Amino acid sequence: MDKNSTLVITGAAGFIGSCLVEYLNYRGYTNLLLVDDFNRQDKIPNLKDKKFTEKIEREQFFEWLFHNKPSIAFVFHIGARTDTTEFNYAIHQHLNVEYSKKIWNYCTVHNIPLVYASSAATYGTGEFGYNDDHQIVNVLKPLNPYGVSKNEFDKWVLHQENKPSFWAGLKFFNVYGPNEYHKGRMASVIFHSYHQVRKNGYVKLFKSHRPDFTDGEQLRDFIYVKDVLKVCYWFMLHQPTSGLYNLGTGQARTFNDLVKSTYAGLDMEANIQYIDMPEDIRDTYQYFTEANMAKLRSVGYMDTFYSLEKGVNDYVRNYLSKDKYF
Could you give the residue ranges of the DSSP H alpha helices within 138-222?
145-158, 189-200
- Report the predicted TM-score, pTM, of the whole model to 2 decimal places: 0.95
Q: Classify strands 72-77 and 6-10 as parallel, antiparallel or unpaired.
A: parallel
Instruction: Tell me what pLDDT residue 298 has.
Output: 98
- Which region holds residue 68: left if phi is over 0, alpha if psi is between -120 and 50, else beta? alpha
Instruction: Tell me what pLDDT residue 152 has.
Output: 96
Q: Exposed/middle/buried for 230, CB within 10 Å: 0-12, 13-18, 19+? A: middle
- What integer best gives the mean pLDDT of the chain? 94
Band of pLDDT at residue 45, cut at 50, 70 and 90: very high
How confident is the model over 258-282, as a mean pLDDT? 93
Helix (H, G, I), strand (E, B) or coil at 224: strand
CA gap 147, 143 in Å, rounded: 7
Residue range(s) of every CATH 3.40.50.720 domain in the chain: 6-175+222-251+290-306
CATH architecture classification, 183-219+252-286+313-322 = Alpha-Beta Complex (3.90)
Instruction: Tell me what pLDDT residue 131 has.
Output: 97
pLDDT one-digit tens code per residue, 139-195: 999 988 899 999 999 999 999 999 999 999 999 999 999 999 999 888 999 999 999
Question: Which of 37, 33, 41, 38 has its CA nearest to residue 75?
Answer: 33
Band of pLDDT at residue 323, cut at 50, 70 and 90: very high
Q: Classify strands 272-275 and 203-206 as parallel, antiparallel or unpaired.
A: parallel
How confident is the model over 65-84, as a mean pLDDT? 89
Q: Is 301 a catalytic residue?
A: no
Please determine, for residue 247, whether its predicted confidence score (pLDDT) is greater than 70: yes
Express as a percent the part of the chain with pLDDT over 70.
98
Could you give the residue ranges of the DSSP H alpha helices within 27-171?
61-68, 89-92, 99-109, 145-158
Could you give the residue ranges of the DSSP H alpha helices within the chain?
15-26, 61-68, 89-92, 99-109, 145-158, 189-200, 225-238, 255-265, 279-282, 294-298, 308-318
Q: Is 146 a catalytic residue?
A: yes
Number of Cβ within 10 Å of residue 219's Cβ equals: 17
Instruction: Kindly list the distances between the CA atom of residue 94 and the CA atoms of 59, 106, 175, 183, 249, in Å, as whole numbers in the listed order.
Output: 11, 17, 23, 20, 30
pLDDT one-digit tens code per residue, 118-150: 999 999 989 999 999 999 999 999 988 899 999
Q: Say which of 146, 176, 306, 319 is annotated catalytic.
A: 146
Instruction: Tell me what pLDDT residue 143 has.
Output: 86
Burial 50-89 (b: 16+ CB within 10 A, else e): bebeeebebeebbeebeeeeeebbbbbbbbbbbbbeeeeb
Band of pLDDT at residue 83, cut at 50, 70 and 90: low
Q: Say which of 183, 204, 207, 230 is annotated catalytic.
A: 183
Please determine, for residue 87, whether its predicted confidence score (pLDDT) is greater than 70: no
Residue range(s) of every CATH 3.90.25.10 domain in the chain: 183-219+252-286+313-322
Helix (H, G, I), strand (E, B) or coil at 80: coil
User: CATH classification of 6-175+222-251+290-306 is 3.30.1330.90, yes or no?
Assistant: no
Please determine, for residue 20, whether its predicted confidence score (pLDDT) is greater than 80: yes
